[in-house]
Every structure is written in structure tokens, then in C-alpha cells.
């Protein structure tokens, strides 16, 4: 059966979807996803209908649909198989498995089969590095692929067995918590942090807090929020997304931002965990969702917000319904909705929005654009989200783990939290460890732990060559740097540790990352849009053995340009993996150079191959002498 959408089919599913979203254009991402789930793909007629219904120009709606990798504006197969293509998946053999699946299905990667049944392609890291090789089939996560599973999958696809009837164990996603500390071991009772926050207010003394309210131009009499902000200040909590911005400063800036008529403050949980190698938020949202939601509610209480969003990456589509169930339970328990815990005016609710395959949406202003139903393009800043965020309203965007910490701080106090970790980096950090270790998974440590200690706990059998900390945009550290410490004083990280033993080729690692950035650049600014492509091509050239020192110089030149001139962090850091590996693992590059000297970039003899083919000649005289 070929996925198609005749006008009749559109009329059945779409009206209900549009009605459920109130024909609201800011909800375009959710409308497009649900429409695609119903119709198979986003046909031109469907986009016209959606644009009309939400009252936006059609070109804008198409522009959004075309931005996200998981939206299909061309017919998609009944089965869309996407192989996670992080370097860790490659190390587990995903390329061979992909090829095997393609050959069993008589397919070329990236092409829809003649009968419109199936397409097989790659996608950026799906956050299953601890249980790869991973795939998404119709955007449902499948882990631990093997050749046996490939055989079975080809059979299921050929027989057109519905996904719901595929073996359930394929869809199992393990938590793989290997070391738990305050977050991952918490037996959190829903509501306990909020109750503690409210109770603390009266104990803390009304006068002092009121004094501060006046000083910081906060509303009078709101003792609870002020006392809570005091705890956050005492905790010295910093953002867990990697940048480490002070949570207190962010929350206070949002709280102090003036509201216009009809506006509210907004709390956003950034669950767009797109940095390859990172998968901690997956586990927090699977097994500690109450802790995260409570942290968001605590934040809402502190900043005076009434609306909350979880921006969940499209790769974690399977978490949507379980998360919605947790939210429903919290509403029923009086922990969300109106008058939370019976406090008059304490109104706050959370909804989960799904992304659709765009790494850039992890950048907070791009995330907000996406939440508004637009392409995920980072905004020009200032103004910052704390004053002009979601629909121009004061907005805080925090990492999943930051909210989990905030809930525990509300429960146990800032001083307790500050005793854990180091002075500049209080609390714990959850690390997502993958690659060449015996026990990949999550490891939670107090900040200040050294990379070597982590590696010891993960079980390292072979000698270590390098560890990529914080994903492609982070740092690559070598053998002699393993005593470096996780923390804002030394290596700040969102938590990814990809481990490479001595058998790995560090050029392959950087090559993979170069293509990742080229694929994920939003395309807005010239240096990143074109620069990431130039760098990927330079790496291809080196990989094919045609590179020379000239190409390496070009890489440094692109790095200098992109680092200064790019619009956002993606372009600024896109060359890091190349520069790091070039500095620390130069032999991996030099091995590939055609010559250590400068050589022409153009192979004249190879250019004649077409002429040779046409004339059927391959004798010595048909080749240029002196070239190889």
C-alpha cells in the first residue's frame, strides 16, 4: 500500500487534529506531526489545508515542514527505517547492518522503494548509544540491532506486518543506570518538594523576605517564591545543559521582567537532548518524570509562571504517552492546574511538545521558535528569552536535569545541595557513557570527579586513546588528560562521554562529527551554512586519500572564520572536533595525506576516466604519465 492522501482521506483525520489544537498556528509542529502520523506524509494539498485552517501563509507552513528532518513533504514509504548514525553506532557496526537491510530489501540507502513500501536511511544520534546500534522505524525507537534482527525486520517489512505486531522486545529501552547519586537514586514522593517549599516560607520569616521583595521590586507578600529563590541561590545551582549559567540569575531575571497585558511567564524544559552521545534526559523522563515536572512547578512558583512546556526531541516519541499519563496523575493529585496545593492563584500546567529531528532546537531561542510553530532558527539576541521568550513573554529555558536538581533543592534546601560537588560546581552530574567500555550507561557523580575515575567504574578493557566529552561540540581529550575533572572549573559538560580505545581511528570520529554539523546547520548564516559543508568535503577528501597539508590549513582557516562570525553556538563550535583531533591525533590525519607536501587538489588523470570509458580504452597511452 502506498502512502497517499486523497482529499477524502484528508477530510477524515485533519479536522479532529486541527480542532484539538484550536486551529492555533503556534501549535503547528504538533499539528504537522499528528497529520503526518495520520496521513503518512505532508502532501501539498494537506499543507494548503493546514495553512488555511491556522491562518498562516502557506509558504510559512511549508517552510516549517521543510525545516525538520522528521517531516516528509514527499511521499514516504509505509516503513521508514532510520539508522542512528552517531560514531558509537558505527563502532557497533550500524553501517554493515544498514547495508544488509538494504540488500535484503533490494534498496539503495535514501531511496524510496519502487513500490513505495520502504525507505532506509541514516539519522543523527537517536540517544540510544548505550544500547546501539539503534534505529527508528516510523519514528519508534528500536535498540540493539543485530544481523538476526535485520533478517527478521526485512521479512516483517516485506510481509507488511504492522509495527504494532513487531516483537515487543525490540522496542525495549533500558535505563542502564550504573551509578546513582542524589538524582538517580531519589525515591521522590510527588508533591513533597512543593510542600517543603511552601512550608519553608513561614518558617523563614516574613519580614526578611518582604524586605528583599521590595529591594528587588518583586511583589509584596509573596514570601514562598522569595524563600525558594533564596534556596536556589544558596545551592549555587548552574544549568546542566553545559553552559552552566546561574539558575538563580536566570530565574530572577525572568521574575523581574515586566509583563504586558495578557502575558504570563513561561517555564520550558529543554528535553531536546540532541548532542550525540547524550542520553541522560531519556532516563530522567522515563523513570524520574515526577521529579522533573515537580522541578518545573517549583520554577513556576519561583518566577510566577502559569504555563509550562516540555520540548521533547522527536526521537523520544515513545515517551509522549507515558509522560502525558504522569501529567494527568499530577493534575488529579492537585499538583498541576489551578490553586496547586490549595494555594489560591498558584496556577500552572505543563504540556509536552514534540520536536521533529533538528539538533539546533536544543539552542534555547531556536527551541522557542519551534514551539511557536516556526523553523528552529536561533534568534538575534538580545533580547534574551528571560524578557522576550515564548510569544514575547518572559521565559526560562532549563535542562531536564536542572529541573530535577531544583526539585531536590526545594525539598532538602540549598545548603544541603551546596555541600555536594565542588565550590564552583555544586551537586552531581549525570554522565552518559558510551563507546569502548564494558558497561555503557548512566553514571551519576558529585561534580569534581576525574575522567579516569569514571572510566575505571565503566570497565575499560583496552587501552584508552581518547574521550570525547560533551559530544561533538565539546572537547576531545587524550590519554594524558584523563585526570581532568568534570565541572565548570575544568570540563563543563551536558554529560556525554564517548570512549575510544587504541584500536579506533580518531579521524573517523572527526569525519563523522563533521557530517553531523553539516547536516544539522540550520542554514541561516553564511559561515555555518556553507562552512560546515566545506569542512565536511575537506574531510571527505582526506578520507578518500586525496588530501594534502593544504586541506588541513583550509580547515584551520574555516575554524577561524566560523568561530567568530557564526550566528550561534553551532557554527562557533562546529570545527572543534577537527581542530582537537588535528592537534592531538595528527598521525591519524597524516596517514591519509597523499603527500606531506602540498599537491594539486585536482586529479587530471582521474578526470579523464569518463573519456576512457567512452572510448573503451584503458591502455598506458590513455593515462597521463606521472600521475597515480
* Of 493 and 573, CB closest to another protein: 573
Q: How far is the CB of 253 from another protein (least distance, A)?
A: 19
Given 135, 142, 354, 534, the residue binding another protein (CB under 8 A): 534
Question: Binding residues for another protein, how many (CB under 8 A)?
Answer: 45
**Contact residues for 382 (Cβ-Cβ < 8 A; gap 6+):** none
Q: What is the DSSP string of 116-153?
A: S-EEEEEES--S-GGG-S-EEETTEEE-S--HHHHHHH
Extended strands (E) in 114-264: 118-123, 135-137, 140-142, 177-179
* Of 48 and 286, CB closest to another protein: 48
- For 501-514, b/e burial (b = at least 16 CB within 10 A) is beebebbbbbbbbb
* Of 66 and 199, CB closest to another protein: 66
* Of 300 and 358, CB closest to another protein: 358
How long a stretch of residues is the chain?
628
* Of 60 and 453, CB closest to another protein: 60
Q: Counting Cβ atoms within 10 Å, is residue 535 exposed (0-12), middle (13-18) or buried (19+)?
A: buried
* Of 246 and 526, CB closest to another protein: 526
Q: How far is the CB of 370 from another protein (least distance, A)?
A: 12
Q: How far is the CB of 74 from another protein (least distance, A)?
A: 12
Position 543 contacts another protein (CB under 8 A): no
Position 527 contacts another protein (CB under 8 A): yes
Closest CA to 294 of 163, 404, 161, 130: 404
Q: How far is the CB of 563 from another protein (least distance, A)?
A: 8
Position 524 contacts another protein (CB under 8 A): yes
Q: How many CA atoms lie within 13 A of 524 on its CB side?
A: 17
Extended strands (E) in 479-587: 496-501
Given 64, 270, 493, 576, the residue binding another protein (CB under 8 A): 64
Position 121 contacts another protein (CB under 8 A): no
Given 59, 249, 604, 624, the residue binding another protein (CB under 8 A): 59
Are 495 and 467 in contact, with CB atoms under 8 Å apart?
no
What character string, x for contact with another protein (CB under 8 A) and - otherwise, covers 559-598? -xx--xxxx-------------------------------
Given 17, 346, 518, 593, the residue binding another protein (CB under 8 A): 518
In whole angstroms, what is the distance from residue 238 CA to residue 255 CA?
17
Residue entry with cell 494555594: 343
What character string, x for contact with another protein (CB under 8 A) and - otherwise, covers 362-391? -------------x----x-----------
Given 246, 263, 286, 533, the residue binding another protein (CB under 8 A): 533
Q: How far is the CB of 52 from another protein (least distance, A)?
A: 11
Are 379 and 354 in contact, with CB atoms under 8 Å apart?
no
Alpha-carbon separation of residue 197 from 111, 257, 405, 578 (angstroms): 55, 23, 14, 47
**Interface with another protein (CB under 8 A):** 44-45, 47-48, 57-60, 62-69, 358, 360, 375, 380, 518-527, 529-534, 537, 557, 560-561, 564-567, 601
Amino acid at each position: 500500500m502506498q502512502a497517499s492522501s486523497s482529499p477524502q482521506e484528508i477530510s477524515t483525520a485533519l479536522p479532529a487534529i486541527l480542532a484539538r489544537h484550536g486551529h492555533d498556528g503556534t501549535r503547528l509542529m504538533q499539528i504537522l506531526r499528528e497529520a503526518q502520523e495520520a496521513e503518512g506524509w505532508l502532501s501539498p494539498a494537506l499543507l494548503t489545508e493546514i495553512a488555511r485552517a491556522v491562518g498562516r501563509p502557506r509558504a510559512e507552513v511549508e517552510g516549517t515542514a521543510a525545516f525538520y528532518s522528521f517531516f516528509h513533504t514527499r511521499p514516504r514509504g509505509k516503513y521508514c527505517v532510520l539508522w542512528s548514525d552517531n560514531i558509537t553506532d558505527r563502532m557497533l557496526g550500524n553501517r554493515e547492518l544498514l547495508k544488509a537491510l538494504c540488500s535484503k530489501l533490494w534498496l539503495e540507502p535514501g531511496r524510496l522503494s519502487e513500490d513505495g513500501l520502504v525507505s532506509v536511511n541514516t539519522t543523527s544520534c537517536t540517544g540510544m548509544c548505550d544500547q546501539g546500534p539503534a534505529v527508528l522505524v516510523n519514528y519508534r525507537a528500536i535498540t540493539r540491532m543485530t544481523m538476526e534482527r535485520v533478517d527478521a525486520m526485512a521479512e516483517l517489512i516485506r510481509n507488511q506486518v504492522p509495527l504494532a505486531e513487531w516483537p515487543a522486545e525490540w522496542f525495549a529501552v533500558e535505563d542502564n543506570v550504573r551509578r546513582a547519586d542524589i538524582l538517580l537514586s531519589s525515591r521522590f514522593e510527588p508533591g513533597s518538594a512543593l510542600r517543603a517549599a511552601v512550608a519553608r516560607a513561614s518558617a523563614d520569616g516574613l519580614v526578611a523576605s518582604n524586605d528583599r521583595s521590595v529591594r528587588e521590586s518583586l511583589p509584596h507578600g509573596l514570601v514562598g517564591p522569595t524563600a525558594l529563590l533564596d534556596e536556589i541561590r544558596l545551592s549555587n545551582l548552574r544549568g546542566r545543559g553545559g553552559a552552566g549559567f546561574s539558575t538563580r540569575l536566570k530565574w530572577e531575571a525572568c521574575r523581574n521582567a515586566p509583563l504586558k497585558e495578557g502575558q504570563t511567564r513561561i517555564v520550558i524544559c529543554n528535553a531536546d537532548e540532541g548532542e550525540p552521545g547524550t542520553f541522560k534526559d531519556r532516563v530522567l523522563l522515563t523513570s524520574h518524570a515526577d521529579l522533573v515536572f515537580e522541578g518545573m512547578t517549583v520554577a513556576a512558583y519561583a518566577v510566577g509562571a502559569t504555563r509550562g512546556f516540555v520540548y521533547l526531541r522527536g526521537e523520544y516519541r515513545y515517551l509522549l504517552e507515558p509522560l502525558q499519563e504522569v501529567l494527568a496523575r499530577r493534575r488529579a493529585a492537585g499538583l498541576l492546574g489551578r490553586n496547586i496545593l490549595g494555594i489560591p492563584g498558584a496556577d500552572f500546567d505543563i504540556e509536552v511538545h514534540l520536536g521533529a529531528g533538528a539538533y539546533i532546537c536544543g539552542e534555547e531561542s531556536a527551541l522557542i521558535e519551534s514551539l511557536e510553530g516556526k523553523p528552529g532558527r536561533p534568534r538575534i539576541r538580545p533580547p534574551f528569552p528571560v524578557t522576550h521568550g515564548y510569544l514575547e513573554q518572559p521565559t526560562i529555558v532549563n535542562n531536564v536535569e536542572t529541573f530535577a536538581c531544583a526539585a531536590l533543592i526545594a525539598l532538602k534546601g540549598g545548603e544541603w545541595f551546596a555541600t555536594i560537588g565542588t565550590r564552583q560546581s555544586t551537586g552531581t552530574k549525570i554522565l552518559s557513557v558510551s563507546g569502548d567500555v564494558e558497561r555503557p550507561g548512566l553514571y551519576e557523580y558529585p561534580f569534581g570527579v576525574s575522567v579516569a575515575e569514571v572510566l575505571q567504574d565503566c570497565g575499560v578493557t583496552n587501552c584508552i586513546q581518547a574521550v570525547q566529552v560533551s559530544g561533538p561540540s565539546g572537547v576531545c581529550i587524550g590519554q594524558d588528560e584523563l585526570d581532568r575533572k568534570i565541572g565548570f572549573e575544568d570540563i563543563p559538560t551536558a554529560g556525554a562521554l564517548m570512549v575510544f580505545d587504541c584500536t579506533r581511528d580518531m579521524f573517523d570520529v572527526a569525519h563523522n562529527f563533521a557530517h553531523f554539523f553539516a547536516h544539522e546547520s540550520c542554514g541561516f548564516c553564511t559561515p555555518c551554512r556553507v562552512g560546515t559543508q566545506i569542512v565536511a568535503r575537506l574531510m571527505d577528501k582526506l578520507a578518500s586519500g586525496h588530501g594534502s597539508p593544504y586541506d588541513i590549513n583550509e580547515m584551520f582557516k574555516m575554524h577561524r572564520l566560523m568561530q567568530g562570525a557564526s550566528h550561534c553556538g553551532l557554527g562557533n563550535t562546529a570545527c572543534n572536533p577537527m581542530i582537537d583531533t588535528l592537534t592531538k591525533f595528527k598521525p591519524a590525519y597524516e596517514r591519509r595525506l597523499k603527500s606531506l607536501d602540498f599537491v594539486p587538489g585536482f586529479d587530471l588523470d582521474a578526470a579523464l576516466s569518463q573519456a576512457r570509458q567512452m572510448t573503451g580504452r584503458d591502455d598506458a597511452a590513455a593515462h597521463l604519465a606521472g600521475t597515480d
